[in-house]
Structure 1
């Protein structure tokens, strides 16, 4: 399945994996869901989204070292990253598997859904 579509998951999987899906957006804590819920498609989808968000935040941090333009890009990117963080948590808490805007459709790192 392409990463740009909303996936359909069993409601039982959603209920079992909500906590792991939410943790996936807290930086390196995506590893908990990656290891503890390997077979849960809902969790693995949000782990993938969490990894993409982490990579986005790392790139913003690196770019922010560049004077002037990098500072502006870093600040705007950090604010956008925080908005994506909130959106990811809300989506996983609601039991939805929607890609994050702009970055959620880039590529698939964890392929089990």
Structure 2
């Protein structure tokens, strides 16, 4: 779902678009910070959760591929630019106020946020 979110404030005092964007900056680290810091704003919590899910998934995938000689190493190298593109896309969409969902990570993140509320 890619609906636009009207700008409002988050618990951090930042605009929700800025807080959601910042939740992607250091991957799961800033994702965890904003997930625990934000109490009410589902938009920020959703993007923080998606940041955690995507960065952990990419980290695990990269680690597994690192144990597979040659083919795994090549795939691991190819994942790096793809991860950069995903990271930039997520930050841009969050700043634009969109509930941008990746096929698996986005749905999972939304379900987790709904369970936490």
TM range (shorter): 0.7 to 0.9
Q: Secondary structure at the match of 1:110?
A: helix
2:32, 2:52 within 8 Å by CA — same for their partners in 1?
no
> Unaligned 5+ residue runs, structure 1?
none
Question: How does the TM-score come out when normalised to structure 2?
Answer: 0.75
Displacement of 1:19 in angstroms is: 2.5
Runs (5+) with no aligned partner, structure 2: none
Shift of 1:13: 4.9
Secondary structure at 1:11 match in 2: coil
* CA–CA distance in structure 2, aligned partners of residues 24 and 76 of structure 1: 24
The match for 1:91 is 93
Question: Which residue of structure 2 lines up, in the alignment, with residue 20 of structure 1?
Answer: 19
Higher helix share: 2
Counterpart CA distance in 2 for 1:79 and 1:56 is 15
| Alignment partner, residue 84 of structure 2 | 82
Change (3 A) 1:45 1:79: same
Cα gap change, 1:17/1:8 in structure 2, threshold over 3 Å: closer, same or farther? same
CA separation in 2, counterparts of 1:30 and 1:105? 14
How much is the aligned-residue C-alpha RMSD, in angstroms?
A: 2.5
Contact 1:9 1:41 in 2 (8 A): no
Residue 33 of structure 1 deviates from its aligned partner by 1.0
Deviation string 1:6-46 (CA, Å, 9 cap, x unpaired) is 35644325873222211221221112211221210110110
Give TM-score scaled by structure 1 length.
Answer: 0.77
User: 1:32 aligns to what?
Assistant: 33
Question: What number of residue pairs does the alignment pair up?
Answer: 108
